[in-house]
Amino acid sequence: MSAEEPTTNGAKPGERTAIGISFGNSNSSIAWTTPEDKAEVIANEDGDRQIPSILSYVDGEEYNGQQAKQQLVRNSKNTVAYFRDYLGQDFKSIDPTHSHASAHPQEHNGTIAFTIQDKEEGEPSTVSVSEIATRHFSRLAKSASDFLGKKVTSAVLTTPTNFSEKQKAALIKSANDAGIEVLQLIQEPVSALLAYDARPESKVADKIVVVADLGGTRSDVAVIASRGGMYTILATAHDYEFAGVHLDKVLQDHFAKEFIKWNGIDPRENARSLAKLKLESEATKRALSIGTNANFSVESLAEGIDFTSTINRLRYETIARKVFDGFNRLIEGVVKKADLDVLDIDEVILSGGSSHTPKIASNMSAIFPPTTTVLAPSTTPAAISPSELQARGAALQASLIQEYEAEDIDQSTHPAVTTVKHLTHAIGVLSITGDSAKGVFTPIIAAETAVPARRTIHIATPKEGGDVLVKIVEGGSHIKVTKTEPKPKENGNKDDDSDEDSSDEEPEEQREKVWKVGNVLAEAAIKDVKKGGKVEVMINVAADLSVTVTAREVGGKGGVRGNLAAP
Amino acid sequence: MTTHTQVSLPLPVLPEGWSGEKDFKAIGHVSKSTQRSIEPVGPHFLAHARRARHKRTFSEDDR
Ligand SMILES: Nc1ncnc2c1ncn2[C@@H]1O[C@H](COP(=O)(O)OP(=O)(O)OP(=O)(O)O)[C@@H](O)[C@H]1O
Ligand SMILES: [Mg+2]
C-alpha cells in the first residue's frame, strides 16, 4: 500500500469499527455499512453529510466544516481551507490559488505549513499541513464515532488517481496520527463505481464506464473496464481550470457587475465583500440545480449596502457555457485517450458535487449515444447522490476487508496479485443471420478482460436443430461511418423558409459499432441438437492465456471439451 | 457468475464432411495481451485474490 509502515492503533481484526472516508479539497464525507450491507453517509453534529474540509480558530476554539466555512468572511486569516492536495508535496509544486482568501500555505522545514492563531493567547502557531489534516481527520472520526456509538478505529480512504506515493504516505500518516488505522487507499472513481455496483438491483456485467468526478477545485475523469465485477482503469485525465469554483466565479462576476451597475462599487475589491459574494454565489449555484430560478441575497455586501437579485437557470447555463464546454472536452478527451469511441461507453457515472448540475448531465446525454446510461440525479431518478458516491464505496470496501489481517490486505493489493494479463481482443462465437450464410460475431469474453476469466453464453440453433458448428474466433470492433445524403423533405416544399435545418446540405453521419472477425481459435461440433434446442458455450482463459472451450446442448449430456495452448 | 447471456441468432449448420477429434478442432491461440492493473476493490476482486493466492481455478472455487 505504501512504503511507510502503518502505525496501528492496536485494533484487531474482528474488533475494528471501520468506516469509509472521502476527503476532498472542498468537502469530506464519512460513511458506514449498515448490518443490511447498505452503505450510508453519516451526518455530522451540524447535520451535514458534505462536511467542508475547513478548520477555523476563534479565541482558541476549533471549528470544522460548515461552521468553519462561515469564518471565511470574518476570520479568514485563522481559517485553513483547500489543503488536501498540499499533503506530501513540495512547496514549489503546489498551486496555492484557492488559499488566497484564507490562511496562506508557506514553506516550513521542508514541508508546507500555515501560521494561525489557534490558541486563545500567545503567539500564532505554525502548523504543518500534516497536522491540519490530522485535526480534520480527528473531527471526522469523532462525528462518526458519535453517530455509531462506538469508537471508530479504522477506515478506507479514497485518493485521486494521480496521487503520488509520497502523497499517499502523507495521507496515511495524517490519518494514523488521528488514531485511524488506514485499512486501504482506494481510487476515487473506482469507489464511485463500487457504490453503484453494490446496489442490490445492480447486475454484474461487462461494461465500459466513464466516471466523471467534478469537484470544487478539480475535475478528474476515468475510463474503467468493468469485467465480471473487476475493475481496470484504462485512462484518466485531470483538470484544474474547469471545476465547481469556476462556476461560482461566473456567478460572482455576474452579480458583481449588477451591483456595480446599481451602486458603482465593485464588491470584488474588498476581501470581506468578496468572501460574501463567493459564499452566496455558491449557494445560488446549488439552488439552480434544483429550481429553475434562484435568489442571490447578501446583507451589507459592500459599504453597508444590502443586495438582492435573482437569476434563472437558462441565463446561468448561458453565462457558464465556457465551463460546461470545458467539462465536455475533458470527458470526450479521456474517451479518446483510452482509444475508445463514445459508442463503446455503456455507462457514465457523474460523481462529485458539481455533478448535481442538470446541464452537465444533459450535455452527457447529448455527447453519448442513447445506449449509454447517464447516472446523474437529473437523468436517472434512482441515481445515488454524486456527493456521496466516494464515501459510500469506501465504506463498502471497509466492510469487505475489516476482518482481514493488515498483512493479508497488503498481500492482496500487491502488484504480484493485481498486475495481470488482459485480453486485447474479444473472444466470441460465430452465428448466422436469418437470411444469409454470413457469420456474425457475438462476443463471449470482452476485450480488456483480466485473466483468468470465465464466461458462458447460451446460443440458439437452427429451427430444426440437428448438427451445428461452434466456431470460436477473436473479434475486434471498430466504428463504421456511413454518410447519408440529407433526405429531401417529404412534401418537397421548396419555398418553405426552412433555412435552419434542412437547407444546410451537409451529409448526415451514421456511426455504428461493427465487429470484424479475426483469428480463428477453434471449432467444435454439437450433434443431434433437438428442435428448438440451445447450446451452452463456456470459455475459460487461464492466467497464461491457454483456453478451455466447453460446449454442449443445454440440458443435454456430455458435450465437447477442448484446449488451446498458451501462445 | 450464474447469469448467461442469451444469444438469439442461431449457430450455423455443421458443414458436410467436417471432422475433428472428439468433435473438437484446435486451430489457433489467443493472439495478444497487455499487462494492466486490476483495482484491488470489491467482492469480485477479493474472490480473484483468494484464487490467485491459493492457486485455485474457477471450478475448484465453485465447489
Ligand atoms: N447541488 C449542487 N449543485 C451544483 N454544485 C454543487 C452542488 N452541491 C455541491 N456543489 C459543488 O460541488 C463542489 C464540491 O464538490 P465535492 O464535494 O465533490 O468536492 P471535493 O472533491 O471536496 O473538491 P475538490 O475538487 O476541491 O477536491 C463545490 O464547487 C460545490 O459548490
Ligand atoms: Mg473530489
| DSSP label of A11 | P
Quote the ligand 2 centre to A491 CA distance (angstroms). 54
* pLDDT tens, residue by residue, A193-247: 999 999 999 999 999 999 999 999 999 999 999 999 999 999 999 999 999 999 9
Is there an atom of ligand 1 within 6 Å of A174 CB? no
**A449 within a domain of the structure (yes/no):** yes
| CATH code of the domain in which A522 resides | 2.60.34.10
**A38 within a domain of the structure (yes/no):** yes
Which residues of A313-369 form beta strands (DSSP E)? 347-351
- Give the residue, by CA position, lying nearest to ligand 1 atom 5: A354
CA dist., res. A281 & res. A264, Å (int): 20
Same domain, A411 and A544: no
CA dist., res. A30 & res. A494, Å (int): 63
Q: CA-CA-CA-CA torsion for A55, A59, A61, A67, nearest 10 degrees? A: -50
What's the grid cell of residue A17? 469499527
Mutate to test the pocket of ligand 1, among A51, A162, A357, A387 (most ligand atoms within 8 A of CB): A387
pLDDT at B2: 45
Nearest to A564 among B26, B49, B58 (CB): B26
Residue with cell 440440458: A555
Question: How far off is chain B from A405, nearest CA to CA, in Å?
Answer: 14
Same domain, A393 and A520: no
Is there an atom of ligand 1 within 6 Å of A377 CB? no
Helix (H) or strand (E) holding A128: strand A125-128
* pLDDT tens, residue by residue, B3-54: 578 888 899 999 999 999 999 999 999 998 999 999 999 999 999 998 888 8
Position A289: which residue type? S
* pLDDT tens, residue by residue, A175-191: 999 999 999 999 999 99
- Point out the ligand 1 atom lying closest to the alpha carbon of residue A26: 22
| DSSP label of B30 | -
Bond before A452 cis per omega within 30 degrees:
yes
CA dist., res. A16 & res. A6, Å (int): 16
Question: How far off is chain B from A157, nearest CA to CA, in Å?
Answer: 12
Helix (H) or strand (E) holding B49: helix B43-53
Whole-prediction pTM value?
0.94
pLDDT at A3: 40
Q: Are A542 and B33 in contact (CB under 8 A)?
A: no
A contacts of B17 (beta carbons < 8 Å): none
**A271 within a domain of the structure (yes/no):** no
**Over 60: is that where the pLDDT of A493 sits?**
no
Q: CA-CA-CA-CA torsion for A152, A158, A159, A161, nearest 10 degrees? A: 160
Per-residue confidence band for A265, with pLDDT thresholds at 50, 70 and 90: very high
Give me the helix-helix angle, A321-337 and A244-263, nearest 10°.
170
Same domain, A398 and A472: no
Is there an atom of ligand 1 within 6 Å of A216 CB? yes
pLDDT at A2: 42
What is the average pLDDT across A433-451? Answer: 82
Quote the ligand 2 centre to A301 CA distance (angstroms). 30
Question: How far off is chain A from B5, nearest CA to CA, in Å?
Answer: 5
**A341 within a domain of the structure (yes/no):** no
Same domain, A141 and A84: yes
Q: Which domain holds residue A540?
A: 426-477+512-564
**Over 90: is that where the pLDDT of A439 sits?**
no
* pLDDT tens, residue by residue, A347-362: 999 999 999 999 999 9
pLDDT at A393: 98
Nearest to A469 among B9, B14, B49 (CB): B14
Nearest to B8 among A230, A421, A460 (CB): A460
Chain B, nearest residue to A558 by Cα? B22
Nearest to B10 among A232, A431, A450 (CB): A431
CA dist., res. A125 & res. A113, Å (int): 10
Same domain, A394 and A458: no
Same domain, A35 and A177: yes
pLDDT at B54: 83
CA dist., res. A273 & res. A110, Å (int): 35
pLDDT at A508: 82
pLDDT at A487: 63
| CATH code of the domain in which A49 resides | 3.30.420.40
Coil vs helix vs strand at A413: coil
| Interface mutation vs chain A, best among B31, B39, B61, most A CBs within 10 Å | B39
Chain B, nearest residue to A158 by Cα? B41
Q: Are A32 and A148 in contact (CB under 8 A)?
A: yes
* pLDDT tens, residue by residue, A293-306: 999 999 999 999 99
Q: Are the Cβ atoms of B41 and A397 closer than 8 angstroms?
A: yes
Q: Are the Cβ atoms of B44 and A230 closer than 8 angstroms?
A: yes
Same domain, A405 and A463: no
Count A/B contacts: CB-CB distance under 8 Å: 233
| Interface mutation vs chain A, best among B2, B7, B35, B53, most A CBs within 10 Å | B7
- For chain A, the average pLDDT equals 93
Per-residue confidence band for B58, with pLDDT thresholds at 50, 70 and 90: confident
CA dist., res. A523 & res. B25, Å (int): 5
* pLDDT tens, residue by residue, A517-562: 999 999 999 999 999 999 999 999 999 999 999 999 999 888 999 9
Is there an atom of ligand 1 within 6 Å of A218 CB? yes
Q: What angle do CA B8, B10, B11 make, to 5 degrees?
A: 135
What is the average pLDDT across A92-108? Answer: 97
| DSSP label of B21 | B
A16 CB-contact burial (10 Å; exposed 0-12 / middle 13-18 / buried 19+):
buried
Q: Are A54 and A69 in contact (CB under 8 A)?
A: yes
Q: b/e string for A517-555 if b means 16 or more Cβ within 10 A? A: ebbebbbbbbeebeeebbbbbbbbbbbebbbbbbbbbee
**A484 within a domain of the structure (yes/no):** no
Is there an atom of ligand 1 within 6 Å of A29 CB? no
CA dist., res. A170 & res. A179, Å (int): 14
pLDDT at B3: 55
**What distance, in Å, lies between the first and last C-alpha atoms of chain B?**
14
Same domain, A57 and A107: yes
Which residues of A352-446 form beta strands (DSSP E)? 373-375, 419-423, 426-432, 439-445
